[in-house]
Structure 1
Amino acid sequence: MIQYKLVLFKIQFGANIRVPVGGYMLGIELRRNSGVSLARQIYRTLRNQMTEGRLKQGDVLPSTRELAKHLTVSRNTVYEAYEMLSAEGFIESRPGSQTRVANGLLLAKADPPAEHFEEAVQATISYLVDFQTGQPDLRYFPQSSWLQYLRKAAESLPQEQWGYSGAEGIPALRREIAGWVYRSKGMTVHPQNIFITSGATQALHLLAELLSVYGKDILMEDPCHMGMLRVLQGKGFNILPVPVDKQGLQTDFLKNSGACAIYVTPSHQFPLGGILPATRRAALIRFARENDLFIIEDDYDSEFRYCGPPVAPLYTMDSQRVIYVGTFSKILYPALRIGFVVLPRRFHSQWCYLRRHVDVQNPPFEQAALAKYLRTRKLDRHVRKMRKLYGQRREILLQAIEEKFSRTWHPWGDASGLHLALEFPGLHFDQAFLLRCKESGIRIALVDYHSINKNLHSDKLLLGYGHLEAKEIRQGVSLLHKCLHAASRR
């Protein structure tokens, strides 16, 4: 057992403290093997004592020599700690006078953390089969060649682009995206109208700021992507829901409401999967023109269509009313965080102003690498390969569901994308059912979760399949069948 030699040290603000030499004084306990410097440990302990009231305003601190002696540290270490306290205004000292605790430092005791907080913020759950939506299969991403592109991009990037290269994005990437959307979707876009973003979510944040001067009401598909809904609600918008059916937005329900914009996913409605037909597209554009509002077109995964080529974007019908939002998260990998917006010219200067005050720009290295990836047509080939793979998995999923559930279900939105919706007429799925699925080892989602008006789609489930192998898909469907069977018996 370590024996401490005790000494009596007279603290000048009136307390007699028994101090073990070399370890403990003024409540300072030094941990010499810690990654935190001794000076910062001393600073932190004294600061906490001042804010907690154990050291009161006007109290005199020991001299640097005295404290260093009793903590068995160098005087410079204590001096550095006092310097930090002095720089932040915790102590006051003048040449030839004593060092005292400053006034006004006492803080009320902070509220204790909420009980079971760690339980509420749960660690990532390991599922036997995870039907999460919107997940590409990263196992097939050509990681090694992509890393080579990144390295070459960093080496060849002009010096001026290591600085602030502009809120619009680097010119090479904007040119290559213009070529990509023409090849893949038939969109004719000038590179000057393309603005690089950190994904579709950031794009919506900026568009909300941009359009808020025109009003605070916005029309939105119901159901819709809950994350995007919350972005708009967080910006103070009043959401006006428009119902969706198997063909997407029901334009017959559009009403003149003074809204500034309407958010739609016409090429693959999320979450129900409908493709907006030409008559509704024309009706939507007429409505936007007649009511002087803008259409935000979120084209999040239309590259993966299994019954013909990708659908032409709504943008091609009116480039002045439609603001097109694209992303590479689903066709490459989610962590890339590169998306783009095609903006009418009237918004260019305001967009740049807003982007400069958010995060200035995307990192230039990923932009340069993606530009070369597009220029060499690597992305075109990767998308064709993944479209074939995802199409095969879609067929496996539909076949497995047919085998297990016979004709008690109907698919929604199975022609494209990385997920499908399943309707089970007469059933009602709720949180209790989700919990049973979780306990059985599978994750699924409810369409009703994404609904603004609840209980209109409570008979539908969402199953993402793009990232699952055939064996996982069949196992997941089998587990889902058991959960549904148990639920029906209850």
Structure 2
Amino acid sequence: MLGIKLEKKKELTLKRQLYQAIKERIERGELDQGDLLPSTRELASALDLSRNTVCEAYDMLIAEGYVISRCGTATRVAEGIKRNQRQNQTLATHSGASEAVPARPTLADFRTGQPDLRLFPCYSWQQMVHQAAADLGGADLGYTGPQGLYELRVELAAWLYRARGMSVKPDDIFITSGATFGLHLAAALLSGDGGEILTEDPCHSGMRRAFQNRGCRLHPIPVDEQGMRTELLPLGAQIRGIYVTPSHQFPMGGILPAVRRAALIRYADAQNAYVIEDDYDSEFRYSGEPIAPMHAMAPDRVIYIGTFSKLAFPALRVGYAIVPEALQSDWKRLRTHIDVQNPILEQAALAKFLRTRRLDRHVKKMRRTYGERRKAIAAALQEAFSDECRVWGDQTGLHLTAEFPNKHFDHNFYDRCREGGILVTPAENHAIVKGKHENKLLLGYGHLTPEEIQKGVRELANFIL
């Protein structure tokens, strides 16, 4: 009856299956407004169900307004529910078209910011998760506050000291849902009074959108091989914040020298503004120790944003911010208003991962691995392009920038690459002022073996040359 077939061995209850089947027929217009539904006794007999099961399904439909039932009258389909038939056809056509297009094989994958998750010590992480779950008590399962698990902040402060030489108090650390969320909070703090945010140009388009979504007005400052050109900082402007990636400028790769860092701090002091330091992957430096953060120069002027997405795995969604004392009260208020806190289990497991130094060992191993891959991609580019390619920013991180003096890479090139199975991003995609970096490509290599790098560069050369 009604063309309904129920599966009695299915995990979904029979009343829920019946409710969904009738609901879908009403939405598709197979049961039109005003149509009578069978009586509960009749439908129960036809479908070999108990009458109570049918009554419960009807009650769900009545409660949600799909059908109308009044005492002494039959149950009818309510008015105004059927979806527009033309819309249904459009959706079906679109869905069918998407499914009909076969996925193109990927010949080369040079996406940026991709750690090699194949080498992450999953078993060790699973041990930490199990131990953390066993150790959590009832008091830990409630709201623990917007600052994050205290044990994690203690371990994070210790790790920052041994890995970066940073002397940070746990009370100044705020756990976030990844670096992007930290930037959203920083943008919310600094977006008032109509002030502007200075940002590197080019800079990561996703980070830029984090500010724009908060209504911030952006003022781009060009970068060169040493990062933001501080001699171009505007005079007389109302500046609230300065967004920089000083330890490994994204995407060009420069390291901001001390003289420019000092100039930024002096400028922030004069403007009563804050520097937002995004330190997204400087742990992976291949010619010496990681670069000291700007935060060490002026902890009262720098909001330091860090993440474990590259160090551990992106799905962890744990980042952190070191917040100047003057902003901490407002930061707590904003975080409480938005989503209160991060999930507790991941924080507890990460605290154990840090305490046992397993993260330290993993980072040390991956620094060697990524360093070998950096050499592999530099050699592959030299072999494929010879002197036609110049490399920027190859001493740190999981990507480099390749400049091709006589080439032009725009968004159309990006689309053609994807159609051809080559995943690569023009630097121009991250530029605010267009037209200055059209001859540069961003090549991520952290997630690729040397063999995959060599094959990918050959495919890219065949596509470009």
TM-score (norm 1): 0.86
Counterpart CA distance in 2 for 1:455 and 1:185 is 37
For 1:36-51, list aligned pairs within 5 A.
36-47=12-23
> What's 1:279 paired with?
259
Distance 1:404 1:46, change over 3 A: closer
1:132 alignment partner in structure 2: 111
Q: Distance in 1 between matches of 2:384 and 2:306?
A: 37
Instruction: Give the direction of change, closer, same or farther, for the CA distance of 1:66–1:399 in structure 2 (3 Å limit).
Output: closer
Corresponding letter in the other structure for 2:60: M
C-alpha offsets along residues 138-161 of structure 1, whole Å, 9 cap, x if unaligned? 222211112111111111123311
1:465–1:119 CA distance, 2 compared to 1 (3 A): farther
Q: Map 1:26-425 to 2 at 5 A.
A: 27-32=2-7, 36-47=12-23, 52=29, 54-56=31-33, 61-93=37-69, 97-101=72-76, 105-106=80-81, 109=84, 111-112=87-88, 113=90, 115-117=93-95, 126-215=105-194, 217-255=196-234, 256-425=236-405
Question: Is the 2:6–2:18 Cα contact (8 Å) retained in structure 1?
Answer: no
User: Which of 406, 411, 428 lines up with 1:426 in the alignment?
Assistant: 406
Q: Secondary structure at the match of 1:243?
A: strand
Q: Which has the larger radius of gyration?
A: 1
CA 1:281–1:434 in structure 2 vs 1: closer, same or farther (change >3 Å)? same
SS at match of 1:134: coil
Deviation at 1:132, TM superposition (A): 1.2
Which is worse superposed, 344-353 or 325-334? Answer: 344-353
Contact 2:108 2:457 in 1 (8 A): no
2:49 corresponds to which letter in structure 1? V
CA distance in 1, matches of 2:95, 2:133: 43
Contact kept? 1:273, 1:421, Cα under 8 Å: yes
Deviation at 1:126? 4.0
Q: Which amino acid aligns with 1:285?
A: I
**8 Å CA contact retained: 1:185, 1:310:** yes
Q: Does the CA contact (< 8 Å) of 1:436 and 1:483 recur in 2?
A: no
Distance in 2 (CA, whole Å) between partners of 1:60 and 1:340 is 59
Matched residue SS, 1:360: coil
**Structure 1: segments with no counterpart, 5+ residues:** 1-23, 486-490
Please report how far the alpha carbon of residue 327 of structure 1 lies from its aligned counterpart in structure 2 after TM superposition: 0.5
Structure 1 residue 41, shift from structure 2 partner? 4.1
- The unaligned stretches of length 5 or more in structure 2 are none
CA distance in 1, matches of 2:42, 2:273: 73
SS at match of 1:425: coil
SS of 2:448 mapped into structure 1: coil
- What is residue 471 of structure 1 aligned with on the other side? 451
**Quick one: distance in 2 between partners of 1:406 and 1:340?**
42
CA deviation after TM superposition for structure 1 residue 450, in Å:
0.8
482 and 313 in structure 1: CA distance in 2 versus 1, 3 angstrom threshold: same
1:443 aligns with 2:423: yes
Cα shift at 1:322: 0.8
Question: Is the contact made by 1:175 and 1:191 (CA closer than 8 Å) also made in structure 2?
Answer: yes
Identity of aligned pairs, percent? 50
**In structure 2, C-alpha distance between the alignment counterparts of 1:285 and 1:392, rounded to whole Å:** 36
Contact kept, 8 Å, 1:221 with 1:242, in 2: the verdict is yes
Name whichever of 276-285 and 403-412 sits farther off: 403-412
Per the TM alignment, residue 402 of structure 1 is displaced from its structure 2 partner at its CA by 1.6
Pairs aligned (count)? 458
Cα distance change of structure 1 residues 102 and 478 upon mapping to structure 2, 3 Å threshold: closer
> Larger deviation: 242-251 or 153-162?
153-162
Q: Indicate yes or no: 2:421 matched with 1:452.
A: no
Inter-CA distance 476–43: structure 2 relative to 1 (3 Å threshold) = closer
CA distance in 1, matches of 2:55, 2:288: 74
Deviations 1:138-189 (A, max 9, x none): 2222111121111111111233112222221111110111111111222111
Residues 347-387 of structure 1: per-residue CA shift (max 9 Å, x gap):
22332232233332222222112112212222222212211
1:260-301 Cα distance to aligned partner (Å, 9 max, x none): 212111110000001111111111111111112211110000
Of Structure 1 and Structure 2, the greater helix share is in 2
CA distance 1:428–1:60, shift in 2 (3 Å)? closer
Task: Say if 1:85 and 1:120 are closer, same or farther in 2 by CA, change over 3 A.
Answer: closer
Query: Secondary structure of 2:125's match?
Result: helix
1 CA distance for matches of 2:67 and 2:251? 59
Q: Which moved more, 1:416-425 or 1:208-217?
A: 208-217
1:431 Cα deviation from its structure 2 partner: 4.0
Contact kept? 2:108, 2:455, Cα under 8 Å? yes
